[in-house]
């Protein structure tokens, strides 16, 4: 392998009751890049993303086999400490879900549960990450008003700041712009391009143009199977598999 | 006019009639309580305990029953919250989705909800006999708790179930444990619903007579200990209505008026509290 890897998936199978949602997925996710998981809806993109930090746990009737190694530790190992693994990854969901507290407390939530109490340090963290997610200027005068009062686009940037505040190495994003207006989407994309110097960003998207704009590395799933993966440019220019070719051309979707 | 328009009109009419039936019964009940009760109201009613001969139409009031009822319903509500919250948090945060235990618990609570309150009274009484307890405030609190527990649990459960699961995932993904998520996110988000559940339970508890007949007993003095019998408003109403004297019967309506006002005050206060504590709730 030519690159270091935080996340390494080996023979991952996920079942929902009878449905075989992910079939024998084996892949190493490269570091410090934007990795886009693409494919038609219902093909297991979100499931794959959720299995990276074991959020599959909360799905009804789910069964998982195989391994997901995060920094060499199998997160599906019964002894694995799940809170520790999740701390390494920030999550952006389709719709922003601010916690039922103030803007400030949303960002401070993560650091606080991990034991940080010093008010001055918290202030600095909140300011820093709100700046990183380019929300600071808009909310600096109302940090203590409810997070639910800001716009959806601002909420998504707040969720980004909240995720970054626990100092993860990886950002998981599940169609993070699908609920946003074009302007807000653009700001999120811009943040990703800035952040990829320091973080591994894994984004699920069904928008091919978004994948083209952002991704360094592509993972193409179809009906729960990993069809093709590799550097984005290569795949877009010269897909090896017929299925990938047709998806990129828009023949299947 | 075509058939579908007539259909629409007929059903709309039926719905309006049903609504009028409900509203007018409420207005009528309130009107009777106020018209018959208000003339019998006086300061003594709410500041004095029954003096000798109160039930024959002489002086005194029902302070014993007011205090007894508030203690009893308050105590039972508190006890029920302490039991309900862990139950619903377990059902919604800890238990595996779709586990048999969860389904069975919800089913049991629904069955318990339908059990008549006299059964809780009788059940409570049997247990008290077993432990050698006499009719007392404590016995009443336990019986009323049994009565309101299923109501409170299911009311809270419904609210927490409606919560988007992504909100929990957001908390988990930051490395929060289930307990941290339950206490810092779930309870906060569900607070309006939790307060409503508490309110419904309190209203049900303070208004119930059958569960306290055997368990709390009755007393003309204000209960000063958990082990003393306590009077309650529903029973006071019952005893006063049961006398042959019209002026005492009117006092029963005055007592009903007091009970209504207590419930009204609790409702208003909890609405205000809800508004104050829920500005952060995500809608």
At B236, is the pLDDT very low, low, confident or very high (cuts 50, 70, 90)? very high
Task: Say whether A148 and B282 touch across the interface (CB within 8 A).
Answer: yes
pLDDT digits (tens, 9 = 90+) for A85-102: 888 888 999 899 999 999
The structure tokens listed for B127 are 């247990």
Q: Is B282 on the interface with A (CB under 8 A)?
A: yes
| A108: pLDDT strictly greater than 60 | yes
Residue A228, CA distances (Å) to A36, A214, B35 in order: 12, 18, 81
pLDDT digits (tens, 9 = 90+) for B247-274: 889 999 999 999 999 998 988 888 888 8
Residue A204, CA distances (Å) to A53, A148, A210, B36 in order: 14, 25, 10, 69
- Angle (nearest 5°) at CA A81 between A77 and A87: 125
pLDDT at A206: 87
Identify the CA nearest to B60 among candidates B190, B239, B265.
B239
Identify the CA nearest to A172 among candidates A29, A59, A4, A60.
A29
Distance in Å from the first CA to the final CA of chain A: 32
Residues 6+ apart with CB under 8 A from A205: A36, A37, A38, A175, A177, A211, A214
| B280: pLDDT strictly greater than 90 | no
| B60: pLDDT strictly greater than 60 | yes
Tell me the CATH class for A1-87+216-253.
Answer: alpha beta
Contact A90, A170 (CB under 8 A): yes
| Strand extents, DSSP E, chain B | none
Mean pLDDT over all residues of chain B?
91
What is the arithmetic mean of pLDDT over B71-78? Answer: 96
SS3 label, residue A43: coil
β-pair type (A170-174, A200-204):
parallel
SS3 label, residue A204: strand
Compute the residue count for chain B. 283
| A173: pLDDT strictly greater than 90 | yes
pLDDT digits (tens, 9 = 90+) for B30-50: 999 999 989 888 888 888 888
Measure A216 CA to nearest chain B CA, in Å: 25
Say how far apart CA B230 and CA A21 lie, in whole Å: 62
Q: In chain A, positions 141-200, which contact chain B (CB-CB < 8 Å)? A: 146-148, 159, 162-163, 166, 172
Mean pLDDT over all residues of chain A?
89
Say how far apart CA A35 and CA A243 lie, in whole Å: 19
**Residues of chain B contacting residue A60, judged by C-beta atoms under 8 Å apart:** 97-98
Task: Say whether B282 and A147 touch across the interface (CB within 8 A).
Answer: yes
SS3 label, residue B2: coil
Measure B212 CA to nearest chain A CA, in Å: 40
SS3 label, residue A125: helix
At A57, is the pLDDT very low, low, confident or very high (cuts 50, 70, 90)? confident
Residue B258, CA distances (Å) to B43, B112, B196, B237, B250 in order: 12, 29, 22, 10, 13
Say how far apart CA A145 and CA A147 lie, in whole Å: 6
The structure's pTM equals: 0.84
Compute the residue count for chain A. 253
Q: Is B92 on the interface with A (CB under 8 A)?
A: no
Q: Is B179 on the interface with A (CB under 8 A)?
A: no
At A253, is the pLDDT very low, low, confident or very high (cuts 50, 70, 90)? low
pLDDT at B57: 78
What is the arithmetic mean of pLDDT over A2-26? Answer: 84
Say how far apart CA A90 and CA B245 lie, in whole Å: 74
The lowest-confidence range among A131-135, B56-60, B73-77 is B56-60
Domain extents for chain A?
1-87+216-253
| B283: pLDDT strictly greater than 80 | no
CA A14 to chain centre: 19
Nearest-CA residue of chain A relative to B188? A100
Say how far apart CA A104 and CA B3 lie, in whole Å: 59
pLDDT digits (tens, 9 = 90+) for B199-211: 989 999 999 989 9
The structure tokens listed for B224 are 């000063």
| Strand extents, DSSP E, A75-216 | 89-92, 170-174, 200-204
Q: Is B167 on the interface with A (CB under 8 A)?
A: yes
Contact B96, B176 (CB under 8 A): no
pLDDT at B281: 78
pLDDT at A78: 85
What is the arithmetic mean of pLDDT over B185-205? Answer: 91
**Residues of chain B contacting residue A16, judged by C-beta atoms under 8 Å apart:** none
The lowest-confidence range among B55-59, B127-131, B179-183 is B55-59
Q: Is B283 on the interface with A (CB under 8 A)?
A: yes
**Residues of chain A contacting residue B97, judged by C-beta atoms under 8 Å apart:** 58-61
pLDDT at A1: 40
- Please say whether the dihedral angle defined by the alpha carbons of residues A170, A172, A177 and A180, taken in this order, is positive or negative: negative
For A55, the closest of B97, B172, B280 (CB atoms) is: B172
Residues 6+ apart with CB under 8 A from B47: B61, B63
pLDDT digits (tens, 9 = 90+) for B120-148: 999 999 988 888 888 899 999 999 999 99
Interface predicted TM-score (ipTM): 0.86
Contact A161, A135 (CB under 8 A): yes
Percentage, residues of chain A above pLDDT 70 = 98
């Amino acid at each position: 392998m030519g690159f270091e890897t935080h996340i390494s998936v080996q023979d991952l199978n996920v079942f929902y009751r009878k449905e075989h949602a992910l079939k024998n997925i084996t892949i190493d996710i490269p570091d410090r890049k934007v990795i886009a998981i693409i494919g038609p809806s219902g093909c297991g993109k979100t499931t794959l993303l959720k299995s990276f930090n074991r959020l599959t746990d909360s799905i009804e009737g789910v069964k998982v086999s195989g391994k997901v190694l995060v920094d060499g530790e199998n997160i599906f190992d019964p002894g694995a400490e799940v809170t520790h693994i999740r701390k390494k990854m920030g999550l952006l969901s389709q719709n922003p879900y601010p916690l039922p507290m103030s803007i400030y407390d949303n960002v401070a939530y993560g650091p606080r549960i991990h034991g940080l109490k010093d008010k001055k340090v918290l202030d600095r963290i909140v300011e820093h990450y709100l700046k990183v997610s380019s929300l600071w200027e808009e909310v600096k005068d109302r940090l203590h008003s409810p997070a639910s009062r800001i716009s959806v686009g601002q909420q998504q940037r707040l969720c980004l700041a909240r995720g970054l505040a626990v100092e993860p190495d990886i950002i998981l994003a599940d169609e993070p712009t699908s609920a946003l207006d074009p302007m807000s989407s653009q700001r999120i994309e811009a943040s990703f391009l800035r952040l990829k110097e320091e973080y591994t960003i894994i984004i699920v998207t069904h928008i091919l143009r978004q994948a083209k704009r952002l991704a360094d590395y592509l993972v193409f799933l179809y009906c729960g199977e990993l069809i093709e993966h590799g550097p984005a440019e290569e795949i877009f220019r010269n897909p090896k598999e017929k299925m990938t070719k047709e998806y990129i051309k828009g023949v299947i979707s | 006019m075509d058939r579908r328009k007539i259909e629409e009109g007929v059903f709309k009419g039926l719905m309006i009639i049903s609504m009028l039936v409900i509203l007018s019964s409420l207005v009528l009940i309130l009107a009777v309580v106020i018209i018959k009760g208000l003339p019998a109201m006086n300061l003594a009613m709410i500041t004095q305990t029954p003096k000798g001969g109160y039930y024959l139409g002489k002086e005194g009031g029902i302070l014993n029953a007011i205090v007894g009822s508030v203690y009893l319903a308050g105590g039972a509500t508190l006890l029920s919250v302490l039991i309900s919250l862990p139950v619903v948090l377990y059902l919604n945060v800890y238990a595996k989705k779709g586990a048999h235990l969860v389904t069975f618990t919800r089913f049991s609570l629904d069955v318990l909800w339908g059990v008549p309150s006299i059964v809780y009274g009788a059940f409570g009484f049997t247990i008290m006999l077993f432990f050698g307890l006499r009719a007392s405030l404590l016995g009443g609190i336990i019986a009323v708790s049994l009565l309101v527990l299923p109501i409170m649990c299911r009311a809270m459960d419904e609210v927490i179930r409606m919560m988007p699961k992504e909100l929990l995932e957001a908390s988990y993904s930051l490395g929060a444990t289930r307990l941290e998520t339950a206490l810092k996110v779930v309870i906060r988000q569900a607070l309006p619903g939790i307060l409503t559940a508490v309110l419904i339970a309190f209203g049900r508890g303070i208004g119930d007579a059958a569960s306290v007949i055997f368990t709390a007993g009755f007393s003309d003095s204000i209960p000063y200990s958990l082990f003393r019998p306590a009077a309650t408003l529903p029973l006071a109403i019952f005893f006063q209505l049961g006398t042959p004297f019209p002026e005492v019967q009117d006092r029963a309506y005055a007592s009903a008026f007091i009970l209504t006002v207590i419930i009204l005050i609790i409702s208003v206060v909890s609405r205000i509290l809800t508004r104050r504590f829920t500005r952060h709730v995500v809608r």
